[in-house]
Amino acid sequence: MTRNATIIASGSYVPPIERPNAPMREKFGEVVDKFQASTGIKTRWYAPNEWATSDLAVEAAKAALQDAGLKATDLDMILLGTDSPDYITPATSAVVQHKLGATKAGTFDIGCACASFPTGLNTATGLIMANPHIKYVLVIGAYMMHKLSDYENDVISFFYGDGAGAAILTASEKPGFISSTFFADGSYHKYWGIYSGGTYEPATAESVQAGRTQVRFITPFPATVNNEGWPERMRELARNGNFDLKDVDMALYTQVRLNSIQLVQETLGLPIEKAHWIMDKWGYTGSACIPMAFDDARKQGKIKSGDLVTFVGSGVGYNQAGSAFIMP
């Protein structure tokens, strides 16, 4: 018997507090219009101040469990992708397991920023295919970067919206997982990040006062990182999975710039209708954006049984990852 992994459910969560572009424009000026034109982002949503990333993740997990008709105690593993964790340690996935009541599940975190969800899909597939005792794996992407930013004074907070998305994978004899790809270039690790609070520079009163414990955009990434990197990851998925790119029914990318998605689809010879985006209504949700886009496309009927779906993400550092699945 061939043991494969397939995606059987999805869920997402958008928090309740809206921060549209208009008040940001009043504060930061015309640059907000330029950002909106290139990204397609018109608004973003924040969680209540007392919430942590784990709370967002739990809500998306509940939605995915409901979609699958499962209980939290049915889960064997929880993989959580985020670069805005509750704590440096312990793992946020363990907090999610506790809050969700998934008492039989093991957990670990994946810290590849916006590449975390395809990395999680590939990792979950490997766990399922290699371990007959693992039946259900929950993969979550969650993001609450606004809380780690100076969002009232830093114009780059334009890009930080909160949210979470999740998918549940299970073992199957039918087609599901097709292929994966991974890439990284760590020479960019000082371009965008939180640079005080870890072992490189433990937090001090001075580093907190200087803002180094908050997320900082230091140097722009070259446009080629996504505009050339995403097409290459897509081509690798096709080669590794022995399929033709024209057979892709839905291509999902990191939801940061609509212009990039349009350019990449054009580069690959794929119609824009074979992509989906959510930035216009939910903003850029980082580690959560790909699973949120996936869930939204499913709910809109844009992804159907038998469709070939690709997931390609870029995360600061930088990491890139891709995954391809046939939908059950």
Q: At what angle do helices 258-268 and 31-39 cross, to 10 degrees?
A: 30
Closest CA to 223 of 314, 153, 309: 314
Q: Is the dihedral of CA 96, 101, 105, 106 positive or negative?
A: positive
HEC assignment per residue over the chain: CCCEEEEEEEEEECCCEEEEHHHHHHHHCCHHHHHHHHHCCCEEEECCCCCCHHHHHHHHHHHHHHHHCCCHHHCCEEEEECCCCCCCCCCHHHHHHHHHCCCCCEEEEECCHHHHHHHHHHHHHHHHHHCCCCCEEEEEEEECHHHHCCCCCCHHHHHCCCEEEEEEEEEECCCCEEEEEEEECHHHCCCEECCCCCCCCCCCHHHHHCCCCCCEECCCCCCHHHHCHHHHHHHHHHHHHCCCHHHCCEEEECCCCHHHHHHHHHHHCCCHHHECCCHHHHCCCHHHHHHHHHHHHHHCCCCCCCCEEEEEEEECCCEEEEEEEECC
Put simply, whether the predicted model's pTM sits higher than 0.85 gets the answer yes
- Amino acid 2: pLDDT: 74
What values do phi and psi take at 256, rounded to 5?
-115, -40
What tokens were used for 48? 């209540």
- Amino acid 306: pLDDT: 97
Q: If you count them, how many residues does the chain have?
A: 328
C-alpha to C-alpha distance for 286 and 230, rounded to whole angstroms: 16
* Virtual torsion, Cα 33, 262, 250, 159, nearest 10 deg: -30
pLDDT in tens, the chain (328 residues): 578 999 999 999 999 999 999 999 999 999 999 999 999 999 999 999 999 999 999 999 999 999 999 999 999 999 999 999 999 999 999 999 999 999 999 999 999 999 999 999 999 999 999 999 999 999 999 999 999 999 999 999 999 999 999 999 999 988 899 999 999 999 999 999 999 999 999 999 999 999 999 999 999 999 899 999 999 999 999 999 999 999 999 999 999 999 999 999 999 999 999 999 999 999 999 999 999 999 999 999 999 999 999 999 999 999 999 999 999 9
